[in-house]
Homo-oligomer: A and B are copies of this chain.
Amino acid sequence: MLRVQVMYPNEPGKKFDMDYYLNKHMPMVTDTLGNLGLVRTEVDKGMGSMGDSPAPFVAIGYMYFEDMETLQKCMAKGQDMMADLPNFTDIQPQVQISEIIQE
């Protein structure tokens, strides 16, 4: 199983509209990619780190895919979803594609 994380760094002075993200953006992701093989999504809200340090990421969106072929088909639609970013944040996300090798 492949896990894609879209990670929004916790940068001072930046905005992140969690309400829009949960109720508009993520449903758009599911609507767009659901028929193409997206297995499921999750959303994390950053709470903290070690000690009193702030969370490195204010929010992380997860997308799960069965294989690389399906993922690449979905990535081709990535532009549509990236175009929605200014509607809820001015943070430039980092994208991590991983294989889940132990669970």
Contact = CB atoms under 8 A, between A and B. Distances in A.
A97 B55 contact: yes
| Residue with the greatest number of chain B CB neighbours at <10 A, chosen from A2, A22, A43 | A43
A55 B4 CA distance: 10
A55 B96 contact: yes
Contact of A96 (B43, B56, B78, B95): B56
B47 A98 contact: yes
A58 B46 CA distance: 21
A99 interface: yes
A37 B44 CA distance: 20
A50 interface: yes
A46 to B, nearest CB: 5
Given A2-B47, A47-B2, A50-B78, A42 B102 contact: yes
